[in-house]
Chain A
Amino acid sequence: MKKLSFLLAGTGPPWARARPPGPKPRVLAPGAPREGLARGWSPGGQPFAASSRTAYSRLVEFKHGSTELEPGLAESWTISPDGLEYTFKLRKGVKFQTTEYFTPTRELNADDVIFSFERQLKADNPWNKYVDGASWEYAAGMGFPELVKSVEKVDDLTVKFVLNHPEAPFLADLGMDFASIMSKEYADKLAADGKMGQLNQMPLGTGPFTFVAYQADAVIRYQANPDYYKGKEKIDDLVFAITTDAAVRAQKLKAGECHIMPYPNAADVAELKKDENLTVLEQPGLNVAYLAYNTLQAPFDKPEVRRALNMAINKQAIVDAVFQGAAAVAKNPIPPTMWSYNDKVEDDKYDPEGSKKALEAAGVKDLKMKIWAMPVSRPYMLNARRAAELMQSDLAKVGVSVEIVSYEWAEYLKLSKDKNRDGAAIMGWTGDNGDPDNFLDTLLGCEAVGGNNRAQWCNQEFDKLVKAAKKSSDQAERTKLYQEAQVVFKKEAPWVTIDHSIAFGPVSKKVSGYHMDPLGIHRFDGVDIAE
């Protein structure tokens, strides 16, 4: 048992003192979790850190600091030869958390798994619209409503997913936050009591930490779950202090008010590295930033023109100016940390003279184009305006005149996917599940034209390769197909691949066992703190 780092004393209400005080690892959460705590609403990742990886578990889990899968609530699984049936054997004896607001009477079983998915997939499920405006954007985004035919109970500890078509990334999808397993017994109790909305506010799962309290926009408190199926965590209390400004977060960490800080400002990293009480962890992000040409618009419909323009852009200068080195130049549409990354692909050489000649050879003269710059900062692109200005200057050197345009974010999202968009748009992507399909088909597949495929690029050769990879469950074969697809991509050049950013995680030296995660997940299982 850990020594106390401080004591709660006085004559407060009994429940305030009933919890055993203990060391308190604190984590600065970057954004307010206003989206509620029952996973599935919006694809904004930040609130996940404060609920899904703490209160809940999933059938399969990503290994710490990796995109590799390991058994979670399912101890094993089998896949039918046609790739249409996934049968999961659940662990025996997994308990749901006991809280002040609910005491479970039974252990995890197949009903909980079915409930967790059907509420998101079946419009006639009473939990599908249990609060006003409920919509399941992650499940929809991963194509689950069309993909999953049924979720069936084989026996109490066996559950079967039947798919409409083979989908190799399906297993990785189940490791995502939206696939967290909830308690049907708790949900039934809430429904009986007429308090369905509480499911979104007071989470209850099988995860390593039990929810204690949420003070709006201020603090979320958890304590170690004594019944966690992998054993009780070493830290007793986990506190999220919601601090939206990155500069203030850095000051809070330096002052010792918190132990772990996500998403520092790039400009603050050097200063944080100098602090002798802190360690700054680094992790190449599973992301890519790109400039998508509109390949339906002349002259960008010609691959030779796109390749020529790519040669004019000094990507290293962009990485240096925008990220101060905290990023790597991208040559492929998937990051180098992802399996099937094709390192043999040669990047477009920065060659303004060559670019000029290639443009002339393609019959392009006095070209005028627009570059769309995102109005927001994202981990993969901290300052799109600055990047656009650098591209503007580079392209001017080869005789291309660039007008930079930008819109308010909501408008940008809407207009940039339009097939008639005038100009090339800066955009980016952060991986959801570590599967190449999540980049290659989602962002460049023919079905995504007019949507996520902002280059409006439909290449049959590329599409055939990624679709074939999606159907195969043989990883070696999938790797080969994706590598071939990257070669086609490079030859066709629908994007200027700009960068893959590096994420930093300043942590107090008292903390051990905390890993930066390629998927941007913040996990506190296995974390310890020196007294």
Chain B
Amino acid sequence: MMRFLLGRLAILIPTFLGVSLIAFSFIRMLPGDPVMLMSGERVMSEERHSQIMHDLGLDRPMYVQYFDYLGSVLQGDLGTSIVSKRPVFDDFKALFPATLELSLCAIIVAICLGIPAGVLAAVKRGTWLDQTVMGVALVGYSMPIFWWGLLLIIFFSGYLGWTPVSGRISLMYFFKPVTGFMLIDSLLSGQAGAFKSALSYLILPTIVLATIPLAVIARQTRSAMLEVLGEDYVRTARSKGLTPLRVIGVHALRNAMIPVITTIGLQVGVMLAGAILTETIFSWPGIGKWMVDAVFKRDYAVVQGGLLMIAGVIMLVNLLVDVAYGFVNPRIRH
């Protein structure tokens, strides 16, 4: 097991270096520079532009900048944002819990609804129920997130007035963040109604972010279940007179879950990508919106640092999934 784990960890090093190089070079390939954007319509003189580029160290050869950056990263310094003048890591630390909270809620919703829907569709294969579930899943999968979010806001918040429009909690509540997770912090604050408010603000963004993973999980569960339901051991279980619930819930679903778990693991990356749009439309103060703004403003340090941190999180999740596989299926360890 230790050898397996060390092997996995060894792969992380070149992956990390690759990500750092890609993050560093891709943002610099875009036309324009942060200093130019800083001045907007007001034109900056060439001398002043050069001076600021020099002050920021952006006039040095690219490889020097890269190795300097890599050296800082290895010492735990992700740099300072060119726009906010704050350390990148501080901003990441402040914003990441919001993204994590939303992503966790969305993945829980996607799992809790997607798996039963997939099972139901498989068991009732070919019926109107199967076609309805799969039809809805296809619509969900094809839904443009931005449009879907705005539609929900207009209907549930604007027309029905059931849910708040955007943000993380009502503006009337004010407490110092402890964990960064609004649901937990609102409970810790002890302020009456704060938790309920935080929960209500989570509903719409969670639905929007969960939509695509939910559809993917439902389709994957259905196809895995259909495969398993045709296996001999399921037929044997049925012929032994076990209840349908036990046959499906214990014998079939457990075996069908392996590819579903893989799919759920992959959805973490999809979730972070989806969070960019969801956060933008719901004014959710997470890293998605932060990164998009940084790209538009050519805030090199934020794009580099943010990508590195996100890649780190995904690598960590993948490592955990690999380790979990190793435990579940000893053959993988070898």
Q: Write the residues of chain A forming the contact surface with B, with a CB cutoff of 8 angstroms.
A: 6, 8-13, 15-16, 24, 26, 32, 34-36, 41-44, 129, 131-135, 137, 140-141, 197, 200-201, 212-213, 215-219, 221, 239, 241-245, 247-248, 251-252, 254-255, 257-258, 378, 407-411, 413-414, 417, 427-429, 448, 451-452
Contacts and interface: CB of A to CB of B under 8 A. Distances in A.
Interface in B22-77: 30-33, 36-45, 48, 52, 55-56
Contacts of B177: 215
A378 B41 CA distance: 10
Contact of A6 (B166, B167, B172, B175): B172
B171 A34 contact: no
A255 B85 contact: no
17 contacts: A9-B192, A11-B190, A12-B189, A13-B175, A13-B189, A35-B83, A131-B85, A137-B44, A216-B91, A216-B95, A216-B290, A243-B166, A248-B281, A252-B165, A409-B32, A410-B36, A427-B41
A308 to B, nearest CB: 28
A239 B168 CA distance: 14
Contact of A12 (B80, B86, B164, B175): B175
Q: DSSP majority for the B interface?
A: loop
Interface in B148-164: 150, 153-154, 157-158, 161, 164
A272 to B, nearest CB: 12
Given A9-B192, A12-B175, A137-B39, A218 B168 contact: yes
Given A43-B39, A197-B86, A244-B280, 14 more contacts: A8-B172, A32-B289, A35-B83, A35-B84, A43-B42, A218-B168, A218-B283, A243-B167, A247-B150, A248-B282, A251-B153, A255-B161, A257-B164, A410-B37
A527 B316 CA distance: 51
B174 interface: yes
Contacts of A41: 38, 85
Given A255-B158, A427-B41, A429-B41, A244 B192 contact: no
B236 interface: no
A410 B298 contact: yes
Contacts of B172: 6, 8, 24
Contacts of A257: 164-165, 167, 170-171
B103 to A, nearest CB: 16
Contacts of B80: 131-133
A386 to B, nearest CB: 19
B166 A135 contact: no
Nearest to A218: B285
Contacts of A134: 85
Contact of A451 (B45, B84, B167, B290): B45
B164 A217 contact: no
B175 A410 contact: no
B293 to A, nearest CB: 7
